[in-house]
A and B are shown apart, each in its own frame.
Chain A
């Protein structure tokens, strides 16, 4: 059984950097363009256009080193990794074989508690981080027996984060990936969207009897792009290894496998007779980059507030509840909205409530992911302020926010145009209340005989008559008074 064996895993995580242009040319690195729209002679393999390194990509590489506690190399060069494949138009990938930009980093992760045991903290050590180019995309056209090639993604900047084989459970793997995502998104290194391929993961996995120090035969599962699939794949593959060792029905060989999520199995990829020889050599086109402490300090100074610091600040300095702070400080987009909105309306609790309440409710309704919420934080702040000042009521506020989501409405213009200002005229409201009371004798009698809850219904009727604009608190008070008076 499993308990005799220990699973040993290492991860190679490829992360697409959030640069505007590609690593060695000025084509757009944006996701989602039409095929072959973002290409030039350099990145589609034509001769004659020398490669010129993107400064921002280097800086994001340095930043990745900073958030992973890594040593940053004082000099880096780039190398050619040579092989033939249709997604590689130049016949070589420019990568860093001889001098990776960062080495010897680490990340602490917390894995969930089981059966009343407290959550444990584990340190995952990172062997290195290096910069490299991404490859193009292949589309298989079954009808025509051809493969189609889109070079948009060629030469998009990547960092590859290579861990040491420190993982023992799939929980640790998912905790690591979630932590990486948090660190990298908050440092604006990448948007880390697994579903879009801007974060991909290869798992190296082997098993050994507990107590053994030697590593077992390892297999590699490539290009995993969802946390759930990763957990399932690890469970399957580790069991496959154990079964092979226990029963001997299958021979374990060092190979690359791919995970089929539908079938729930890994499959051997096409075997090669011998390991590919990549013939690495330093790329003479790209001169060395010297990274000195001044440059590193400059980058460190410009870094955005990391997630855990934001959490501490929200709880300790701004006095917000831990739960609320956790949710906002765990998502880059929500944090950005919070920080920016606060600049325009400095009431943290109000802003926090508007984000966790109305904003998330509307985004859920419109099927927009947290990462993709694109409302202007300033507009949210304006709405929160207007409600706080009693200029509009909260229901109207939510309606206006909805319009900001849908058509990027200007709150004040929208309120003006649709006459949504809160109605707080006491005389006017008393008149409406009288009307409601006279139309609803039955309810009034129920109230008189002791039923408090009918109050809500009556308030609702008043709101209806005022098209939702009445000051609900005032209505409540006036209604209460009128009912008592008339008793």
Chain B
């Protein structure tokens, strides 16, 4: 049985004992099915082109083929301001006029 407390902490959660028991059960059920991936060897699955493994993108792209792909999506370096500070702080749970506010951070 995996100890999910480590992941609970990483994810900034504080589960009740009941919740933790329940979620641990579900966590184990699901993650145990992942072990089947160990049967697959991916050491040849990578770097299709330009030294890049296009692993993060659902769009398939190959430089050599004619298949449509996009890359180099870049923005010109211009400043544009669409929102006032007031508008963006509207939803703040705690703030003074100019700053967002949280309990004191101890360094």
Q: B interface, by DSSP: helix, strand, loop or mixed?
A: loop
A282 to B52, CA, bound (A): 12
Is the Cβ of A36 less than 8 Å from the Cβ of B79? no
Known A26-B79, A55-B74, A148-B99; judge A74-B51 contact (CB<8 A).
Answer: yes
Is the Cβ of B73 less than 8 Å from the Cβ of A53? yes
* Contacting residues, chain A, for B106 (C-beta < 8 A): 270
Chain B interface size range: 35 or more
B55 at the interface (CB under 8 A from A): yes
CB of A287 to closest CB in B, whole Å: 5
Is the Cβ of A284 less than 8 Å from the Cβ of B51? no
Is the Cβ of A36 less than 8 Å from the Cβ of B88? yes
Is the Cβ of A35 less than 8 Å from the Cβ of B71? no
As a 0/1 sequence over residues 92 to 107 of chain B, the CB contacts with chain A under 8 angstroms (1 = contact) are 0010101111111111
CB of A375 to closest CB in B, whole Å: 25
Known A44-B88, A147-B105, A148-B101; judge A21-B73 contact (CB<8 A).
Answer: no
A224 to B28, CA, bound (A): 46
> 8 Å CB contacts to B: which residues of A451-485?
none
Known A26-B75, A41-B88; judge A75-B52 contact (CB<8 A).
Answer: yes
Is the Cβ of B74 less than 8 Å from the Cβ of A151? no
A277 to B6, CA, bound (A): 10
Cross-interface CB contact of B75 among A55, A145, A284, cutoff 8 Å:
A55
* Contacting residues, chain A, for B72 (C-beta < 8 A): 287, 289-290
Chain A interface size range: 35 or more
A58 to B73, CA, bound (A): 11
Is the Cβ of A146 less than 8 Å from the Cβ of B75? no
A37 at the interface (CB under 8 A from B): yes
Is the Cβ of B104 less than 8 Å from the Cβ of A147? yes
* Contacting residues, chain A, for B55 (C-beta < 8 A): 282
A86 at the interface (CB under 8 A from B): yes
Cross-interface CB contact of B100 among A140, A151, A277, cutoff 8 Å:
A151
Is the Cβ of A289 less than 8 Å from the Cβ of B88? no
A136 to B53, CA, bound (A): 32
> 8 Å CB contacts to B: which residues of A139-157?
139-141, 144-151
* Contacting residues, chain B, for A258 (C-beta < 8 A): 107
Cross-interface CB contact of B12 among A36, A55, A84, A141, cutoff 8 Å:
A84
A284 to B73, CA, bound (A): 13
Is the Cβ of A287 less than 8 Å from the Cβ of B71? yes
CB of A266 to closest CB in B, whole Å: 14
Is the Cβ of B75 less than 8 Å from the Cβ of A27? no
What is the chain B residue whose CB lies nearest that of A53?
B74
Known A39-B85, A41-B83, A279-B10; judge A55-B71 contact (CB<8 A).
Answer: no
Known A21-B78, A57-B77; judge A282-B56 contact (CB<8 A).
Answer: yes
A84 to B14, CA, bound (A): 15
What is the chain A residue whose CB lies nearest that of B72?
A289
- The interface of chain B, by Cβ under 8 A from chain A, is 10, 12, 50-52, 54-58, 70-83, 85, 88-89, 94, 96, 98-107
Known contacts A57-B77, A99-B52; 17 additional CB pairs below 8 A are A26-B80, A36-B99, A39-B88, A44-B88, A52-B74, A53-B75, A55-B76, A75-B52, A86-B102, A140-B105, A146-B104, A147-B102, A148-B100, A149-B99, A269-B107, A282-B56, A287-B72
**In the A-B complex, the 7 residue pairs with the closest CB atoms:** A148-B99, A56-B77, A55-B74, A282-B56, A75-B52, A26-B80, A35-B98
| 22 A-B pairs with C-beta separation under 8 A | A20-B77, A20-B78, A54-B74, A56-B77, A75-B51, A77-B56, A140-B104, A146-B102, A146-B103, A147-B105, A149-B100, A149-B102, A269-B107, A279-B10, A282-B55, A283-B56, A284-B56, A286-B73, A288-B54, A289-B72, A289-B74, A290-B72
